[in-house]
Amino acid sequence: MTFDDVFKQLATIDKAAVSLLKAACPHPDEGLPGSVRPLADPAQDRFLREQTGNMLESLTLLHAEFRYLTSPVSREYQLTLFPNRRYGCFDGDIHTLSCGKAIEAKLHDSHGRPYWVKSRIEHDGNDYFLWGYPGIPLAGLTIREREVPCHDL
């Protein structure tokens, strides 16, 4: 099996998940809407609504991750520290990163082999850092960003 095979199957699952999510219309705070008729047993109804809500939330996360991974990389560059103490790149204009910005960073394992990690940029009140990788210096770090489409559910 190749990654192409995996992603083809994931695309089928994602399409079915999106269809179910649109039909069920779960509300983030209230769970399933009234269009899903209640059961005669209120205890069982509540249990199934909570459990189904959990599964639908997982499908929402699966869809978001699949959409992210299938989005094209929009840019790849090395981070520069600018005089305003922000990190970013210069390509005729200065582009800086903000807290919470999702990025992929190219790190190196103990044998010097490169690999990509999905992370985000955060600030600790003193400086910016790569979430989950506190000892990695940002200046000179190769990162890439993806063109993720707006929410489609």
In tens, the pLDDT along 24-55 reads 876 666 666 666 778 889 999 989 988 988 99
- Give dist(CA 102, CA 99) in Å, integer: 9
- Percent of the chain clearing pLDDT 70 (strictly above): 92
pLDDT tens-digit readout, 68-83: 999 999 889 999 999 9
CB 17 within 8 A of CB 59: yes
Neighbours of 142 (CB within 10 A): 14
Helix axes 42-69, 3-24, angle to 10 degrees: 140
Q: Token pair of 113, please? A: 């082999």
**Sign of the CA dihedral running 54, 56, 62, 68:** negative
**Least confident stretch, 7-11, 16-20, 97-101:** 97-101
Q: Which residue has the tokens 């079915």?
A: 16
The gap from C-alpha 72 to its chain's centroid, in whole angstroms, comes to 14
Q: What are the DSSP E strand ranges found in 1-153? A: 73-78, 80-81, 87-90, 94-96, 102-108, 114-123, 128-130, 142-146
| Contact residues for 5 (Cβ-Cβ < 8 A; gap 6+) | none
Enter the CATH code of domain 73-146: 2.40.10.390
* β-bridge mates for residue 107, sequence order: 115
Domain boundaries, the chain: 3-69, 73-146
At 115, is the pLDDT very low, low, confident or very high (cuts 50, 70, 90)? very high
Asked if residue 32 lies in contact with residue 53, where contact means CB atoms within 8 angstroms, the answer is yes
| The pLDDT of residue 30 | 61
| Contact between 121 and 100 (Cβ < 8 Å) | yes
> To the nearest whole number, what is the mean pLDDT of the chain?
89
